[in-house]
């Protein structure tokens, strides 16, 4: 039995208790990031014509594309920096699939087929050919996790892209995000290569290593 979604306080970071140890670790990480950052991400791709087992969550959800009218609903459970990013994405006509439960948004996932998509986090240009689309930035509210929602969203987005004439969908996951990697593998994504990003002071470098 799923818990009723909450309007406020459902963002995972807001659920964490602030302790002296966590505070010190947070400050230390921020100081280190001023001088040095390294990240490793997997680039994964799915052939949309491959056979795919339809995966549905066990919940009675409603699915639809979100729009700017949904920004107040997003503000109820997401921090301000997310909302700022969402406004820019809507302005660029990127697409956001949401699942709602009892009228409230409990999940979102963004996708685009912009041929020159730039990933700010890794300082990396993601080449999206005309027959591809890029799926990114998904989030499930706390009380709705581990119930197959993300898998169902992938299936729905991939079907939509296939109906549009796309042949492949691509996604990028941080090496440490094992849940997202496992979910992508479940729905048929395959590893295409690894993106490395490194910044030392103001010197940045990104490079791609095929698998």
pLDDT digits (tens, 9 = 90+) for 109-158: 999 987 666 655 555 667 778 899 999 999 999 889 889 999 999 999 99
- CA 50 from chain centre, in angstroms, equals 23
pLDDT for res 61: 93
Higher pLDDT, 14 or 117: 117
**CATH level 2 (architecture), domain 12-210:** 3-Layer(aba) Sandwich (3.40)
Question: How far from 68 is each of 9, 36, 145, CA to CA, in Å?
Answer: 22, 36, 25
Q: What are phi and psi of 48, to 5 degrees?
A: -70, -15
pLDDT digits (tens, 9 = 90+) for 32-57: 777 878 889 999 999 998 876 667 77
147/164 Cα distance (integer angstroms): 28
156/204 Cα distance (integer angstroms): 36
State the angle between helix axes of 178-186 and 149-163 in degrees (0 to 180), rounded to the nearest 10.
50
For 2-39, give one letter per residue: b (16+ CB within 10 A) or e.
eeebeeeebeeeeeeeeeeeeeeeeeeeeeeeeeeeeb
Residue 131: CB atoms within 10 A of its CB come to 12
Do 200 and 36 touch, CB atoms closer than 8 A?
yes
Name beta bridge partners: 43: 172, 193
pLDDT for res 211: 86
Name the pLDDT band for 167 (thresholds 50, 70, 90).
Answer: very high
46/48 Cα distance (integer angstroms): 6
Q: What are phi and psi of 181, to 5 degrees?
A: -60, -45
pLDDT for res 2: 40
The full set of domain ranges for the chain reads 12-210
- What's the pTM? 0.80
- CA 72 from chain centre, in angstroms, equals 20
Q: What are phi and psi of 66, to 5 degrees?
A: -85, 165
Q: For residues 185, 187, 190 and 194, what is the CA-based torsion angle, rounded to 10 degrees?
A: -60
Average pLDDT over residues 67-88: 92
């Amino acid at each position: 039995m799923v818990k009723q979604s909450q309007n406020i306080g459902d963002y995972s970071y807001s659920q964490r208790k602030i302790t002296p140890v966590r505070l010190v670790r947070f400050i230390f990480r921020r100081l280190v990031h001023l001088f040095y950052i390294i990240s490793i991400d997997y680039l994964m791709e799915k052939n949309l014509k491959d056979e795919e087992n339809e995966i549905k969550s066990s919940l009675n959800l409603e699915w639809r594309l979100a729009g700017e009218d949904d920004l107040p609903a997003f503000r109820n459970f997401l921090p301000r920096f997310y909302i700022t990013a969402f406004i820019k994405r809507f302005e660029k006509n990127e697409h956001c699939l949401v699942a709602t439960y009892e009228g409230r948004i409990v999940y979102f996932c963004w996708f685009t087929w912009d041929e020159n998509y730039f990933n700010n986090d890794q300082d990396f240009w993601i080449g999206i050919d005309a027959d591809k689309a890029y799926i990114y930035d998904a989030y499930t509210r706390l009380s709705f996790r581990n119930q197959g929602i993300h898998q169902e969203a992938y299936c729905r987005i991939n079907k939509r892209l296939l109906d549009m004439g796309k042949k492949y969908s691509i996604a990028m996951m941080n090496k440490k995000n094992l849940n997202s990697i496992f979910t992508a593998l479940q729905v048929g994504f395959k590893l295409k290569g690894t993106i490395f990003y490194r910044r030392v002071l103001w010197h940045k470098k990104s490079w791609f290593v095929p698998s």
